Amino acid sequence: MASDAQGPEEQPNERHRREGWRKWSVWILIALVLASVALPGLLNRDNSTAVDYSDLIEQAADGNINSIVVTNETGAISAEAIDGTTYSSKGPVELPELDLKLLRDRNIDVKFRTESSNPFLSMLPILLPFALIIGLFWWMQRRAQGQMSGIMSIGRSKARTYTTERPETVFDDVAGYSGVKQEITEVVDFLKEPERFAAVGARIPKGVLLVGPPGTGKTLIARAVAGEAGVPFLSVTGSDFMEMFVGVGASRVRDLFQTARKLGRAIIFIDEIDSIGRKRGAGLGGGHDEREQTLNQMLAEMDGFEPTEGIVMMAATNRPDILDPALLRPGRFDRQVVVPLPEFGERAEILKVHVLDKKVDESIDLDIIAKGTPGMSGADLANLVNEAALHAVRSDRESISQADFEAARDRVLMGQRRESVAMTDREKEVTAYHEGGHALIATLFAHADPVHKVTILPTGQALGVTMQLPEERHAYSQDYLEDRLAVLFGGRMAEDTVFGVTSTGAANDLVQGTELAKKMVVEWGMSDRVGPMAWGSNNQVFLGEGLVNGRDYSDETARVIDEEIERILRTQEARARHALVEHRGALDRVAAALLDKETISGDDVAMLVPAPSGAEEDPNSANTTSNSPSLDQSSSD
């Protein structure tokens, strides 16, 4: 057994040694060629004294020279003196007869030699073309082998494996989400002590599906589970299974599970599983496309391992409604853990984590920042802290202040200030009354979200913005939605009340209001004529279902729905108009303050507007909807 376990490890090592030898053999060959060229010259170097040819002849005439060696090809002369000194000189290729006669008369031993040429240098012009041709063929063969190895390994999983030393993230590194941690602690306990569960016959869920909006930290929580359990963590995204070749996705799924089984206890995490886990048979491509085959293989693999093996699958998605029912049935992803947007206390903890590596003022109150950022995810809060740091740098401050966070929040929620836009006096006045109408209605109506800031400075895509900060809500009452519609119509009605005409500045308000009123009628049952029926279709057009089924109500019902949507919108428009006419003086004061200061706070608006009558909470407002709408809390011109 020991030899079998060592075999797979020895083979890669042997392959690496062969590849390393091939790589170094090229450099060794180059070194040998250079040595064959340079060594002869280095070995033939001598320490003789260089003299002129005439001086050498004079030394010979004086009888100081013992022997002379002349090179025929170059005329180089090497002479040895009687006292042992050696001289080198350069004379003519053929020595003159008089000089030869002088040397013989002085009994000097004269020798002539012919140097042998370097055989490698002589053959180099012949060998070089052959070497280039051989090298070209070798390079083409290596490249072809690389391409073939890439094709042969295309079915391997692209999962990144984090060993027990790598996933250092633990639950303490995840700020907030105590309920989520408590729910998945059972998975950690099973991975740590599977014997305790097996002793009583308990079956741990094979798959845990993390469901939540984008940026809530689903991947971070999955890594924290691996870090707490101390087991390897295989991370892969849903798109990694898809390629242009048929069968690649299913092959990668098989390789992923085989790798997990070799690791023993491990966690397989698939991010954005909805990219391969959509409903089968609903797409326009039929039931034989590559994505559905990949999903079929994943379902088969999840049925192929026992819960006691120690392998737990975790996946994350923000679209659980489009997942295939077979993926969510008991025995597969049979436990769903909701990772919601953080609450006030959780946002404060997340902000504390993100400011650890930032230089902030001691006077900063993170609770105030957390209270002013409802609806922000963990990723949004990280971006908020980074924007505050950038604003501090632009302001030449050495640390982040509370004002930097305020500016960063305004930029994230409202957009970047457009300095290049120059409005006319008429446009400024219309914009001031438009935004003043939004702010006035939001202040007067008891169920509307409080006003945080109003500006007529061009921001983002709008000429002006009325920013509201909603309180923590998990469901919305009909009173709140109606007041929200009235706030949206406040800008349009302010223009009509003051100037007698409306402008295109209310285009975005009309779009938001129409969508909200439609949901009130067809999804949330807030119309007496339509009744307690939900006509909103959950069929997704991109899945192909909406193209086949169409709407599920008659033409008469469609007419009633349109009439009810129009009734709701006109009723709230009339409410906004009545409030603006009744408090025309307050509207003028808010608009004048905006024209004077360009930006005012919600407290400034409250000082300019009289206290609303009937501000007490309506007892009937406790009726809430089960699905919270997605509401934009800023009205723009």
Q: What is the CATH number of the domain that holds 365?
A: 1.10.8.60
Query: What is the tens place of the pLDDT at every residue in 553-595?
Result: 788 888 999 999 999 999 999 999 999 999 999 999 999 999 9
3-class state of residue 629 by DSSP: coil
Boundary residue ending a domain (366, 389, 413): 413
- Within this chain, do residues 350 and 334 fall inside the same structural domain, yes or no? no
In a domain, 271, yes or no: yes
- Within this chain, do residues 333 and 348 fall inside the same structural domain, yes or no? no
pLDDT at 31: 72
b/e per residue 422-442 (b: at least 16 CB within 10 A): eeeeebbbbbbbbbbbbbbbb
Query: What is the tens place of the pLDDT at every residue in 241-281?
Result: 766 566 677 777 777 888 877 877 778 888 888 888 777 76
In a domain, 122, yes or no: no
Scan for tokens 């025995």, then name that residue: 331
| CA nearest neighbour of 583 among 452, 484, 483, 441 | 441
Residue of higher predicted confidence among 106 and 125: 106
- Within this chain, do residues 383 and 510 fall inside the same structural domain, yes or no? no
Helical ranges in 469-538 per DSSP H: 478-499, 507-522
Question: Domain tally for the chain?
Answer: 5
**What CATH number should be reported for the domain holding residue 327?**
3.40.50.300
- Within this chain, do residues 253 and 365 fall inside the same structural domain, yes or no? no
CA-CA distances (angstroms) from residue 136 to 33, 133, 142, 146, 200? 19, 5, 10, 15, 67
Residue of higher predicted confidence among 485 and 301: 485
What is the C-alpha separation between 324 and 298, in angstroms, rounded?
A: 12
pLDDT at 16: 53
- Within this chain, do residues 209 and 314 fall inside the same structural domain, yes or no? yes
What is the C-alpha separation between 12 and 159, in angstroms, rounded?
A: 19
- Within this chain, do residues 315 and 363 fall inside the same structural domain, yes or no? no
Domain of residue 572 covers: 425-636
Q: For the chain, how long is the longest CA-to-CA vector?
A: 141
Residues marked active site are found at 435
Rg (alpha carbons) of the chain, rounded to whole number: 42
b/e per residue 294-312 (b: at least 16 CB within 10 A): bbbbbbebbeeeebeebbb
- Within this chain, do residues 98 and 217 fall inside the same structural domain, yes or no? no
What is the C-alpha separation between 489 and 571, in angstroms, rounded?
A: 11
Cβ atoms < 10 Å from Cβ of 453: 23
CA-CA-CA-CA torsion sign (66, 69, 74, 75):
positive
- Within this chain, do residues 409 and 456 fall inside the same structural domain, yes or no? no
What is the C-alpha separation between 273 and 284, in angstroms, rounded?
A: 20
Considering 23-32, 215-224, 384-393, 401-410, the range whose residues carry the highest mean pLDDT is 384-393
pTM above 0.95, yes or no: no
By mean pLDDT, which of 128-137, 207-216, 621-630 is the weakest? 621-630
In a domain, 120, yes or no: no
Above pLDDT 70, what percent of the chain? 76
Left if phi > 0, otherwise alpha if psi is -120 to 50, otherwise beta: which for 500?
left
Considering 341-350, 391-400, 511-520, the range whose residues carry the highest mean pLDDT is 511-520
In a domain, 143, yes or no: no
**What CATH number should be reported for the domain holding residue 562?**
1.20.58.760
b/e per residue 480-499 (b: at least 16 CB within 10 A): bbbbbbbbbbbbbbbbbbbe
pLDDT at 207: 82
- Within this chain, do residues 579 and 453 fall inside the same structural domain, yes or no? yes
Boundary residue ending a domain (296, 317, 338): 338
What is the C-alpha separation between 150 and 236, in angstroms, rounded?
A: 19
Query: Across-strand partners of 634?
Result: 467
Average pLDDT for 413-432? 80
In a domain, 189, yes or no: yes
Confidence category of residue 286, pLDDT binned at 50, 70, 90: very low
pLDDT at 626: 37
Boundary residue ending a domain (289, 320, 338): 338
